[in-house]
């Protein structure tokens, strides 16, 4: 007679050896044999499915961890590690995007270049640990002075850049500058006592003062130094 298909399946699956397949003549025994074979095949399939499920879960977990790592690396590549603010790379991208949106909407963009007054003296007198803590506090205050859609960046040192988007009234930028000057002037309580810095800010507007990101930053920077020369602890606009 023909070798039963289920016996071939068992050979292929490897659940029993060829020597075990000695088909009995008794019908009941034969049915019992094939029932046992089918049970073994079913168990083998279940075990395989369990292994596939386990491997799929492990793969999904590995991919999740990989995505988290990629997100962390992307964040580190775009943010200042000390303050969590945007770094120079992200700042340049934000300014370019803000100008592109402003060209379409017909509105203005303000770039505020800010530099802390008196920070070097605190850093020299009390050390970098105190200086870093001061930068963290000042950075948090700055972030509270703007909208979520705006950008506060720390390109480096005690220099900050604020990008205000979709301005309908240029006076809105002046009000933000006033808030920044006030918030920065508040004392910072440290173990060494209440420490104070101030801030000098230069404002430049797209498209009024410049139409390209680099030009806009340069206008804001030169205006910031003009504010320092004028006495510090103040803001000044590039034009009028």
- Spell out a b/e string for 18-53, using b for 16 or more CB atoms within 10 Å of the CB, else e: eeebeeeeeeeeeeebeeebeebbeeeeeeeeeeee
Q: Residue 228: CB partners within 8 Å, gap ≥ 6?
A: 115, 117, 200
The answer to whether residue 158 is catalytic is: yes
Q: Alpha-carbon distance 71 to 68, whole Å?
A: 5
| Exposed/middle/buried for residue 88 (C-beta within 10 Å: 0-12, 13-18, 19+) | middle
Q: Alpha-carbon distance 44 to 201, whole Å?
A: 73
Angle at 201 between CA 146 and CA 199, to 5 degrees: 90
**Which of 117, 158, 209, 221 is flagged as catalytic?**
158
Coil vs helix vs strand at 120? helix
Which residues form the catalytic set? 158
């Amino acid at each position: 007679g023909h070798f039963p298909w289920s016996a071939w399946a068992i050979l292929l699956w490897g659940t029993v050896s060829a020597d075990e397949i000695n088909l009995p003549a008794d019908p009941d025994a034969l049915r019992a044999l094939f029932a046992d074979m089918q049970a073994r095949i079913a168990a083998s399939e279940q075990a395989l499915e369990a292994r596939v499920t386990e491997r799929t879960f492990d793969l999904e977990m590995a991919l999740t961890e990989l995505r988290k790592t990629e997100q962390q690396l992307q964040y580190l590549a775009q943010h200042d590690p000390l303050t969590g603010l945007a770094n120079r790379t992200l700042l340049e991208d934000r300014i370019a995007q803000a100008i592109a949106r402003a060209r379409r909407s017909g509105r203005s963009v303000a770039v505020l270049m800010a530099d802390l007054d008196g920070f070097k003296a605190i850093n020299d007198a009390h050390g970098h640990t105190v200086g870093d803590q001061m930068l963290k506090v000042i950075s948090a205050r700055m972030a509270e002075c703007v909208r979520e859609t705006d950008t506060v960046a720390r390109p480096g040192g005690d220099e900050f850049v604020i990008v205000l988007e979709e301005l309908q009234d240029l006076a809105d930028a002046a009000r933000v500058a006033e808030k920044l000057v006030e918030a920065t002037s508040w004392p910072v309580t440290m173990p060494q006592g209440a420490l104070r810095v101030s801030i000098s800010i230069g404002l430049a507007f797209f498209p009024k003062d410049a139409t390209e990101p680099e030009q806009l930053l340069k206008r804001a920077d030169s205006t910031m130094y003009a504010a320092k020369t004028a006495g510090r602890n103040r803001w000044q606009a590039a034009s009028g």
